[in-house]
Amino acid sequence: MLKGYKYRLHPTAAQAEFLIRTIGCARFIYNKLLEDRIAIHEEAKVSGGPKRKPPTPASYKPLFPFLCEADSLALANAKLHLDTAFAKFFAGTAGFPVFKSRRKARASYTTNNQHGTIRIEEDRVRLPKVGFIRFTQHRSFDGEIRSATVSMTRSGTFFVSLLVEQDDEPWVPAEHKVGIDLGLGYFAVMTNDAFVTEKIPNPRNLRKAEGRLKQAQRALSRKKPGSRNREKTRLLLAKKHEQVKNRRHDFLHKLSRHIVDENQVVVVETLRTREMMQDRRLAKSIGDAGWGEFVRQLEYKCRSHGRTLIKADPWFASTQVCSSCGENGGKKGLDIREWTCAACGAHHDRDVNASLNLLRLADRNTSGQGLPDELGP
Ligand SMILES: [Zn+2]
């Protein structure tokens, strides 16, 4: 099993300069190869003859000598990334590869471990051509490092993601099953098979920080383009955005970890987020909530820990059905927080009732292969 570990890097000024240059070279090769492949295709179309062979990263070196300074594995990986982008395009799963812009594209390069060229010694990580860079290793690991991806955020912070070959984690069955209702009032309302309900408040990280971000954004637009002040403000703003993002990720990681630790079967609602995003009032809170990222984390954590994740069909009427008698009481507006079932008289908290309905799916379907027919639309 391959697992990724991401750490903050603390390069010296000279090392940072090298990293930035290598990121630039990888992007240059990617764009150059893309440009040439398009040209080769056009030539063949005009001449009708066979296509000439696409160039390799190394073949650009005589023409662009600055490439010789860079880590050649980073250039080779840039080509692999382009190959993957084309493969996705031809498989119909992605659009035509686009050129990487210096401003918009993710600033990163990937290099490989060749017999210890990437390794950790105390508080430093060694990378090819750079040598040892100081880093914060908050979490250690066992296993062999396969590759390293160096990335730089918009505020100029460096990270390294190490891809490590590891033994599979031992499978420890958990005790419970849980139904999770995702919402705006509470981020999640979860009821397990011991009928213990946990309500997780929405952290609203983005909203709290939003006032400050807006202020910074306004300050930025007042600065003269290209001025030193503008660059300073842009940096500040990028840092704040990153802070908010990190805090949100932290929250989601802790919550998904907690769920996977305690439950063997997890049922979660898949929301029709795109549809809901069209409601502008809701869109802000939804974008903030990060449900998609949460479900993604549950998915891979369940997989690596031998748990069963059941994603309820978006059309599953978790809020409409009475969890006591099964009667479908019809649609309920978002403002209705509590209701009484007309059929059996049970009084329900909207979110708890929904999580109970989701929990029931765990018993009907523990194979994780979609919903049984009777629960479909
Ligand atoms: Zn009822």
pLDDT at 372: 37
pLDDT at 282: 64
The CA 198 to ligand 1 mean position distance, Å, reads 22
Contacts of 200 (CB under 8 A, 6+ apart): 186, 187, 188, 189, 190, 255
Torsion sign, CA atoms 61, 63, 67, 73: negative
The CA 345 to ligand 1 mean position distance, Å, reads 6
Contact (Cβ atoms closer than 8 angstroms) between residue 185 and residue 285: no
The CA 116 to ligand 1 mean position distance, Å, reads 64
Identified catalytic residue from 69, 181, 288, 349? 181
The CA 265 to ligand 1 mean position distance, Å, reads 25
Give pLDDT tens digits for 207-257. Answer: 677 667 777 778 788 888 888 888 888 888 888 888 877 888 888 999 999
> Which tokens in the block code for residue 271?
């929301």
Residues 15-39 have a mean pLDDT of: 95
Residues 153-182 have a mean pLDDT of: 88
Identified catalytic residue from 35, 349, 351, 373? 351
Contact (Cβ atoms closer than 8 angstroms) between residue 27 and residue 102: yes
pLDDT at 370: 38
The CA 362 to ligand 1 mean position distance, Å, reads 20
Of 200, 205, 229, the residue nearest 216 (C-alpha):
229
Identified catalytic residue from 175, 269, 275, 335? 269
Catalytic status, residue 269: yes
Distance of CA 232 to the CA centre of its chain: 28
> Which tokens in the block code for residue 78?
């840039």
Contacts of 118 (CB under 8 A, 6+ apart): 111, 112, 125, 126, 127, 128, 145, 147, 148, 162
Residues 126-137 have a mean pLDDT of: 94
The CA 332 to ligand 1 mean position distance, Å, reads 15
Q: Which residue has the higher pLDDT, 24 or 240?
A: 24
Would you tell me how many other CB atoms lie within 10 Å of the CB of residue 362?
22
Give pLDDT tens digits for 264-307. Answer: 999 998 776 556 666 666 666 666 667 888 998 999 899 888 89
Residues 336-356 have a mean pLDDT of: 91
Domains and CATH numbers, the chain: 2-165 (no CATH), 176-375 (3.30.420)
Catalytic status, residue 351: yes
The CA 205 to ligand 1 mean position distance, Å, reads 37
